[in-house]
C-alpha cells in the first residue's frame, strides 16, 4: 500500500501542474506580441503594461501578463485591483526607470494596489537607475527625497507570492510592503551601492503574515526594515551586506504607531554592515510597543554593531537627546549568534529609562572582535536573561554617555 499512496499524490501534483501550465499558456497577455511594447530601452512600456494588466485583471479565469526578455523603459505604472480571478506577472526582461529624478512627482514607480491572489516571477530586473538621485539625496534635501520613487510598492495586497525578481539601484527603497496580508517574497536579489542613501532593501508596515525567504540583499541602508503595525512575520535564509543590517524600526517618531509583534529572524548571514540584529526607537517623541521579537541562528561577519537595542536612536543628531524613548520593548531574544564584530562593542542594549526593556534573553552568543581588544557588551536599563556560552560577557562594558548617531 505504501508505494501506491506515494504514487497517487505525485500523479495528482503532475496533473495540477499540467492544468496550470495549460491555463497560463491559454490566458497569457504578452505586452510585446499583443500590446505593441518595444524592448528597445527607449519606448515607454507604461501603456502596453497597463493595457495588458487591465485586460488580464478583467478575465474571469486565471491569467498571466508576460514581459519577454529585453530592455524596456517604464515611466510609471499603477496596477490596481481587485481582479476577477488570480493574476500573475511573468517578468523576464529588464525594466528601467527614467534616470532623471525630476521625472517623478511622487514616490511611486511600479505600484500594485488592492490585488488578491497574485504572483510575480520570471527572473526579471527592475532597474531604478538611481545614481543621479544618490548624489542629491542628503538629509538637508528633504523635499527632493519626498518625491523619489520606490522601485516596487505592494499596497493592500493579499495572498501573494513574489519570486525570482531583482531590484537594482532604486532611487529610494527597493520594495515597500504596506497594509498587506499573507505575502511571501522569495529568492529575491536586491542590489545598490553601499553608499546609496535611504535604499532600504525591503521595508514594511501595517502588514501581517509577511515572509521573506532565501534572498540576497546588498544596499546602502537597512537590508530589511520593519515598521509599525507589522505582525506575525518570518525572515529566514537572508544574506545581508553591505547595508545597515536587519532592523525593527525606527519606531516612536510618529503619533499612533501600531504595535510590532511576532517577528522571527533566523538562519541569516550578515556581512560588512554597520548593524546586525537591531531594534531602534527615537528618544522622546511618541509611544509604541514591540514584543515577541526573536533573532536566532545568525552569522555576523565584520559587523560594526552585531546585536543592538538602541532606544536613543538619533541619526544626524536630530532628536530630543535629553528625553527617554516612550516605546515599550518586551520578550526579545537573541540566540545562537556567532561571528565577528568590527568594533569592540559587540552587544549594545541601550534601553529607555522611563520604560526599561523587559524579558530580553541572550543565549549561546559567540562574537569576537576583529581587533586587538576583546569584545564587550553594554547594558543600560535592562537585565538580560542569559544561558549557554556567552562571549562577550553580558553587560561587561561601559555605557555610552551620548545617544548614537547611527543611521
Is the pLDDT confidence value at 246 over 80? yes
196-216: pLDDT as tens digits:
999 999 999 999 999 999 999
Confidence of residue 256 (pLDDT cuts 50, 70, 90): very high
Instruction: Check pLDDT > 90 for residue 306.
Output: yes
Confidence of residue 315 (pLDDT cuts 50, 70, 90): confident
* Arithmetic mean of pLDDT over the chain: 91
Q: How confident is the model at residue 404 (pLDDT cuts 50, 70, 90)?
A: low
Length of the chain: 407
- Reduced to 3 states, what is the DSSP secondary structure of residue 378? strand
pLDDT band for position 370 (50/70/90)?
very high
pLDDT of amino acid 15:
33
Q: Rounded CA gap, 172 and 178, in Å?
A: 16
Q: Residues with catalytic annotation?
A: 244
Name every residue whose Cβ is closer than 8 Å to that of residue 100 and which is 6 or more positions away in sequence. Answer: 132
Please write the tens of the pLDDT for every residue from 126-181. 999 999 999 887 766 767 778 899 999 999 999 999 999 999 999 999 999 999 99
Distance, CA of 389 to chain centre: 31
Instruction: Tell me what pLDDT residue 18 has.
Output: 35
pTM: 0.91
| Contacts of residue 230, Cβ cutoff 8 Å, sequence gap at least 6 | 204, 205, 206, 207, 208, 210, 260, 263
Residue 321: cis peptide before it, omega within 30 degrees of 0: no
DSSP 81: -
Predicted pLDDT at 16: 38
pLDDT at position 114 is 98
Rounded Cα gap, residues 262 and 63, in angstroms: 34
Q: What is the DSSP string of 109-129?
A: EEEEES-EEEEEESS-EEE--
Amino acid at each position: 500500500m505504501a508505494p501506491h499512496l506515494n504514487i497517487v499524490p505525485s500523479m495528482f501534483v503532475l496533473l495540477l501542474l499540467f492544468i496550470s501550465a495549460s491555463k497560463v499558456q491559454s490566458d497569457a497577455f504578452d505586452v510585446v506580441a499583443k500590446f505593441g511594447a518595444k524592448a528597445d530601452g527607449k519606448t515607454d512600456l507604461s501603456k502596453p503594461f497597463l493595457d495588458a494588466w487591465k485586460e488580464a485583471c478583467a478575465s474571469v479565469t486565471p491569467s498571466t501578463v508576460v514581459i519577454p526578455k529585453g530592455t524596456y523603459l517604464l515611466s510609471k505604472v499603477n496596477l490596481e485591483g481587485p481582479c476577477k480571478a488570480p493574476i500573475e506577472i511573468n517578468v523576464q526582461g529588464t525594466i528601467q526607470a527614467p534616470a532623471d529624478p525630476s521625472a517623478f512627482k511622487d514616490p511611486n514607480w511600479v505600484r500594485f494596489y488592492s490585488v488578491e491572489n497574485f504572483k510575480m516571477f520570471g527572473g526579471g530586473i527592475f532597474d531604478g537607475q538611481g545614481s543621479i538621485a544618490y548624489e542629491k539625496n542628503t538629509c538637508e534635501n528633504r523635499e527632493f527625497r519626498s518625491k523619489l520613487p520606490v522601485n516596487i510598492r505592494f499596497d493592500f495586497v493579499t495572498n501573494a507570492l513574489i519570486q525570482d525578481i531583482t531590484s537594482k539601484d532604486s532611487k529610494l527603497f527597493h520594495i515597500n510592503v504596506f497594509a498587506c496580508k499573507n505575502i511571501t517574497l522569495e529568492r529575491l536579489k536586491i542590489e545598490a551601492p553601499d553608499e546609496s542613501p535611504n535604499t532600504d532593501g525591503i521595508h514594511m508596515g501595517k502588514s501581517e503574515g509577511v515572509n521573506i525567504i532565501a534572498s540576497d540583499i546588498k544596499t546602502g541602508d537597512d537590508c530589511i526594515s520593519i515598521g509599525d503595525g507589522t505582525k506575525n512575520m518570518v525572515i529566514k535564509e537572508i544574506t545581508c551586506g553591505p547595508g545597515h543590517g536587519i532592523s525593527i524600526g525606527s519606531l516612536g517618531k510618529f503619533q499612533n504607531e501600531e504595535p510590532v509583534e511576532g517577528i522571527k529572524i533566523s538562519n541569516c548571514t550578515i556581512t560588512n554592515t554597520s548593524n546586525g540584529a537591531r531594534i531602534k526607537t527615537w528618544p522622546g517623541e511618541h509611544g509604541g510597543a514591540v514584543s515577541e521579537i526573536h533573532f536566532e541562528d545568525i552569522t555576523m561577519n565584520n559587523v560594526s554593531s552585531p546585536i543592538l537595542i538602541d532606544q536613543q536612536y538619533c541619526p544626524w543628531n536630530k532628536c530630543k537627546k535629553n528625553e527617554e524613548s516612550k516605546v515599550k520593548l518586551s520578550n526579545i531574544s537573541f540566540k545562537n549568534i556567532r561571528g565577528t564584530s568590527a568594533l569592540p562593542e559587540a552587544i549594545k542594549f541601550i534601553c529607555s529609562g522611563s520604560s526599561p526593556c523587559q524579558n530580553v534573553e541572550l543565549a549561546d552568543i559567540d562574537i569576537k572582535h576583529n581587533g586587538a581588544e576583546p569584545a564587550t557588551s553594554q547594558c543600560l536599563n535592562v537585565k538580560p536573561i542569559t544561558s549557554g556560552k556567552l562571549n562577550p560577557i553580558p553587560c561587561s562594558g561601559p555605557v555610552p554617555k551620548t545617544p548614537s548617531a547611527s543611521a
